[in-house]
Amino acid sequence: MIKRLLLIFSLYVPIGLLAQQNDTWDLLRCVEYAMENNISVKQADVQARLQALQAKLSKANRIPSLAFSSSGGYQFGRSLNPTTYSYTNNSIFQQTYSLQSGITLFNWFSIKNTIKADQASADAAEVDINRAKNDVTLNIAAAYLQLLLSIEQINNAKNQIGLTTKQLQLTRKQVDAGGLPELSAAQFESQLATDSGTYYTNYVTMQQNKLQLMALLNLSADAPFEVSIPDVEKIKLIPIGELEPNALFETAVATQYQQKVDAFKIKAAGYAIKSAKAAMYPTLSLFGNIGSNFSNIYTNQVGATPYIDTIGSVNVQGNNYFVTTPYNIPIYKKPDYLKQIFNLNLNQSVGLTLNVPIFNYRQLRTNYERSKLNLKNAELTQALNKQTLQQNIYTAYTNAISGIKNFNANTKAADYASYAYDLSQKRYDIGMQSTSDYLIQQNNLYQAQVKKASSHYEYIFRLLVLEFYKNNQISLY
């Protein structure tokens, strides 16, 4: 029974627990890797680039537009002759070219304010990348410490199995020698099975915590991954006396990225109101156009042939005189393609356009009113985030104070449990204590060690959260 349990136990012990690995991940490496690979951070970066593109698009509205168009095709049946402007039944091939340009001269600074609004939104999205990184940093620190705790709990369970196994071996010898009843050995066998089950449960918890941390790092679940195990006693923490919540809140309001994001969004909403209001006023624009066309039946007069036509005669005193009239017969020629396009059919236009919105189903007015509500919503969001920040800081401070007291209490409890176990061990060795009472003291020691470890890591994390609000960073060194 003992050999079988030890064999199963050895198969479940993670390699990272048996020996320190060369390729291990400390908290700093986890955070730095996540800054480049975490999905939430990548999404924030994509959103920032989208907002930057929108800002560039808004700025481009200041420069003139320029567009080229061309069309060509055949006309059949009754069509207009482009030369005589009379209708003909011939098939006609026509091709047109047009180059148009336009620019807004004045629209009550709507474009200017739109540019400012989009730039403020782009700035907010850029800062939001750091906000996402901060959130990921906190989540990684929590997951990292939770993984360290689960590893320590495995070690505690391993030690518990070792104690029970050792005592079972000694008890079995005494039972075989007739010094103790079989019941004593059976009780240790039962305790060893219970301890093994506790170990396997802790192992599964450790694996789950590891997968959670790997997910934050965007690592594949089957990738090799072991964390370095620091000496928790040497973790440098700022004394709780230097982390007064009111001072932390004032610092966090000025330094936390979420507060900066909210400020930029309020700024963007303010400019959006001005832009929406300007859109309700007239807009003055300048336009220009250069066009030309080609037709396969177009003819151009290139000259004329003089001709005298007799239109009648007059008899004067018996003599006939012919009446003639001179005129020119025009000579037409089909000009070539380029001459039609760049000379004969070239046309230009330039002008001003005044657009006065009179009634557009209340769309512009609704946009203006909606923009004012967006500003109000941004201000409320800022107030809510500020309130949440204050609540989080004071809650973290209260939890840190409670964590310190809880850790100190559990440390004393573990010390007394260890002392009680030593006394129980001595009494059991000389036959003055029953197996049941001995196992109770052993389990009490294990539970006390578990609570001490749990409260220790919780206390460390609570202080790290407060340090984060103070310095915008987390470190175990």
Please report whether residue 377 resides in a domain. Answer: no
Q: Residue 84 has which token pair?
A: 């005589």
**Full strand arrangement of the beta sheet holding 65-75:** 65-75, 92-106, 283-295, 347-355
Return the sign of the alpha-carbon dihedral for residues 6, 7, 11, 12.
Answer: negative
For 193-318, strand residue ranges (E) read: 283-295, 300-316
Please report whether residue 242 resides in a domain. Answer: no
Helix%, strand%, coil% for the chain, nearest 5 = 65, 20, 20
Q: How far is the C-alpha of 475 from the C-alpha of 467, rounded, in Å?
A: 9
Residue 83: the pLDDT is 64
- 403, 455 in Cβ contact below 8 A? yes
Please report whether residue 319 resides in a domain. Answer: yes
| 97 φ/ψ angles, rounded to the nearest 5 degrees | -130, 145
Please report whether residue 271 resides in a domain. Answer: no
Residue 43: the pLDDT is 97
How many folded domains does the chain comprise? 1
Residue 21: the pLDDT is 47
Half-sphere exposure of 345 (CA within 13 A, CB side): 24
Ordered per-residue pLDDT tens for the chain, 477 residues: 444 444 434 434 443 443 344 589 999 999 999 999 999 999 999 999 999 999 999 999 999 999 999 999 888 878 777 666 778 787 888 899 999 999 999 998 999 999 999 999 999 999 999 999 999 999 999 999 999 999 999 999 999 999 999 999 999 998 998 888 999 999 999 999 999 999 999 999 999 999 999 999 999 999 999 999 988 888 888 888 889 999 999 999 999 999 999 999 999 999 999 999 999 999 999 999 999 998 888 877 788 888 888 887 777 777 887 778 888 888 888 888 888 889 888 999 999 999 999 988 799 999 999 999 999 999 999 999 999 999 999 999 999 999 999 999 999 999 999 999 999 999 988 888 899 999 999 999 999 999 999 999 999 999 999 998 988 877 776
Q: Report pTM.
A: 0.81
328: domain range? 301-333
Please report whether residue 328 resides in a domain. Answer: yes
Please report whether residue 320 resides in a domain. Answer: yes
Please report whether residue 315 resides in a domain. Answer: yes
For 209-346, strand residue ranges (E) read: 283-295, 300-316, 319-333
Return the sign of the alpha-carbon dihedral for residues 10, 15, 19, 25.
Answer: negative
Please report whether residue 74 resides in a domain. Answer: no
Return the sign of the alpha-carbon dihedral for residues 257, 263, 269, 271.
Answer: negative
Angle in degrees, CA 362, 366, 370, rounded to 5: 175
Q: How far is the C-alpha of 206 from the C-alpha of 210, rounded, in Å?
A: 6
Residue 69: in which H helix or E strand, if any? strand 65-75
Q: How many CB atoms lie within 10 A of CB 213?
A: 23
Q: How far is the C-alpha of 174 from the C-alpha of 420, rounded, in Å?
A: 24
Residue 302: the pLDDT is 80
